[in-house]
Amino acid sequence: MDNVSLTAMASIMASGLTIAIGSITPALGEGRAVAQALSSIAQQPDEANTITRTLFVGLAFIESIAIYCFVVALILIFANPFWNYVITKAGG
């Protein structure tokens, strides 16, 4: 295997791991946040508006982690910064 193939394989594997971990972890965090918010609303129904507003802000922050992981995976696949270096060293 040449260096270009190894770089391609490493990029694809890294982007796959990034998407896998970057989507599972925020999903678990969002599920836990919603469960805690529902529990809090059940205990204090008068504070439902405040809890819901805080929940949505927290969910936006949690979801941004998944979006950052998605962007990193796209960069690794389509705009990999190592491609030019590997191709010039390979003589292509």
| Measured distance CA(1)–CA(69) in Å, rounded | 29
Q: What would the mean pLDDT of 30-55 be, rounded to a whole number?
A: 95
Q: What would the mean pLDDT of 18-38 be, rounded to a whole number?
A: 94
Structure tokens at 16: 């796959």
pLDDT tens readout for residues 45-69: 999 999 999 999 999 999 999 999 9
Q: What are phi and psi of 22, to 5 degrees?
A: -75, -10
| Measured distance CA(68)–CA(26) in Å, rounded | 11
Is the pLDDT at 1 greater than 90, yes or no? Answer: no
Percent of the chain with pLDDT over 90: 67
Q: What would the mean pLDDT of 5-21 be, rounded to a whole number?
A: 89
| Measured distance CA(56)–CA(11) in Å, rounded | 34
Is the pLDDT at 30 greater than 90, yes or no? Answer: yes
Residue 51: HSE in the Cβ half-sphere, 13 Å Cα cutoff: 16
Other Cβ atoms within 10 Å of 51 Cβ, number: 19
Residue 38: what pLDDT?
96
Give the mean pLDDT of the chain: 90
- Cα-based angle 80, 82, 86 (whole degrees, multiple of 5): 130
Is the pLDDT at 29 greater than 70, yes or no? Answer: yes
Sketch out the chain's domains with CATH numbers.
3-90 (1.20.20.10)
